Amino acid sequence: MHGILTIFQKEVASFINSLIAYVVITVFLVGIGLFFWLFEYNILETGYASMDALFDFGPYFFLFLVPAITMRSFSEEMKTGTIEFLITKPLTDWQLILGKYFAAVFLVFFALLPTLIYFVTVYMLGKPVGNLDVGATIGAYIGLFSLGAIFAAIGLFTSAITDNQIVSFILGVFLCFFFFLAFDFMAGVKVLEGVNAFLLKLGIMEHYRSISRGVIDTRDVVYFISFVTAALIGTKMMLNGRRN
């Protein structure tokens, strides 16, 4: 446990001390804010107090922002050679992986935290004040956070594949996009009509929609945990392959 905490603290400190941390969080907050106040979900014009802008468009921002958070996790270590130093430390592979993963998940949470400003604003603008489904909003927050946790696991996996951060980022975006949207697209193809329900359940989107409705289904929880576990096992295999 001590090893995981050490890696966790190192990763969080490294990210917060880098410019990319503030760029990522600023882009996320400003981008979502534009949808709240200027674009499609303009609350002041529609007169409808809703957090839909965050939960409808947040995943698409996460497709790019989470791989940006994780792209340097192993890539930078391999490029600078510090991965060899870490391996010689009294750390197991799983301590190293979990420390980096929990750090990435914490940073996703850190990015989501300021969006509570939007929640408070929408809550206060409601007529009457508080005319907002708080339970459904909490469920949607859990769904968005869980989505970020899956994307973080995918990003960690792609970071272990290459020592080039840009390649890691591009691979991360592609895989996040594929698992989030591709199965939905395939389920809509007429030729695959017989297996469309199965394809939907394979994709992340279906489970994200389910949790975002405010209903925590055991099947969705099992799916998210299984996906993260598979991605982290893949990360370990990549590290073992590079070491050998």
Burial bucket for residue 235 (CB in 10 Å: 0-12, 13-18, 19+): buried
Q: Tell me the C-alpha distance between 99 and 116, whole Å.
A: 27
pLDDT band at 136, cuts 50/70/90? Answer: confident
86-135 per-position pLDDT tens digit? 666 667 788 888 999 999 999 899 888 888 888 888 777 767 766 677 77
- pLDDT over 70 percentage in the chain: 81
Give the pLDDT score at 188: 66
pLDDT band at 228, cuts 50/70/90? Answer: very high
Give the pLDDT score at 7: 83
DSSP code, position 128: S
Q: Which two tokens stand for residue 100?
A: 């980096």
Q: Tell me the C-alpha distance between 228 and 152, whole Å.
A: 9
Q: Which residues contact 26 (CB under 8 A, 6 or more apart)?
A: none
Higher-pLDDT residue of 106, 32: 106
Q: Tell me the C-alpha distance between 221 and 158, whole Å.
A: 23
Torsion angle, alpha carbons of 150, 151, 155, 156, to 10 = -30
> For residue 9, is pLDDT > 80?
yes
Mean of all residue pLDDT scores within the chain: 81
Residue 144 near residue 58 (C-beta atoms within 8 A): yes
> For residue 61, is pLDDT > 80?
yes
pTM above 0.75, yes or no: yes
Give the pLDDT score at 149: 94
What does the pLDDT average to over 48-62?
A: 80
Q: Which residue has the tokens 């890696």?
A: 7
pLDDT band at 145, cuts 50/70/90? Answer: very high
Report the Cα 230 to chain-centroid distance in Å: 15
Q: Which two tokens stand for residue 115?
A: 């969006």
Per the omega criterion (within 30 degrees of 0), is the bond before 67 cis? Answer: no
Residue 68 near residue 182 (C-beta atoms within 8 A): no
Lowest-confidence range among 58-67, 79-88, 158-167, 193-202? 79-88
Give the pLDDT score at 170: 94
Lowest-confidence range among 37-41, 166-170, 193-197, 224-228? 37-41
In 10 A of CB 33, how many CB atoms? 17
Give the pLDDT score at 239: 79
Closest Cα partner for 205 from 176, 184, 228?
184
